[in-house]
Amino acid sequence: MRWGKLLFVGVLGMAGLLVLVSWISPPLAHLASLRGSNPPVTGDITAPPDVAAVLRRSCYDCHSNETRWPWYSGVAPISWVIAHDVERGRQEVNFSEWTAYLPATRKRKLQWIERALHEQVMPPRLYRFLHPDAWLTEEDDTLLEHWLQMQLAELQQTSQH
């Protein structure tokens, strides 16, 4: 009987703590304003339809201005983590601002994407767990790898002329 009461108090305390935390602003004020908002798309990347579909399915939530904010992105402290991850993702590669990148920057970002694919760190494991459709199949990997090689070769040719 005593353990049941302690468990009830513990669960009630945790629920109260979660409610309290969801009303506290995040450590960085800009993360609160980022959550749920998307800046305009200023220059989306051009890719063949099959490549674009894979990028949209597996990458765009963090690496574009077209983030689909899930319901739990409004619950602190989870919201802070998601907003932080999206902010970092957009800083690393933002497909919605691709045309604003200089050719050397595009090359560096394409190489980063290629490395991330080889190391299988993108999309991140937790994201894949919460979004099973984001998993990259072997076919997706091959498709992206081929496309990346073509993009890098094009950039190489343009830089030589």
Residue boundaries of the structural domains of the chain: 2-160
3-state helix, strand, coil in the chain (%, to 5): 70, 0, 30
Tokens coding 17:
């703590």
Which of the 8 DSSP states describes residue 97?
A: B
pLDDT bracket for residue 110 (50, 70, 90): very high
End-to-end, the C-alpha distance of the chain in Å comes to: 81
Q: By the 8 A CB rule, do 32 and 7 touch? A: no
Digit-coded pLDDT (tens) for 8-60 = 767 776 766 666 655 554 544 455 456 667 899 999 999 999 999 999 999 99
Residue that is written with structure tokens 């579909």 in the block: 53
Look over the chain and give the mean of its residue pLDDT values, rounded to a whole number. 85
Q: What pTM was estimated for this model as a whole?
A: 0.78
Give mean pLDDT, residues 95-116: 96
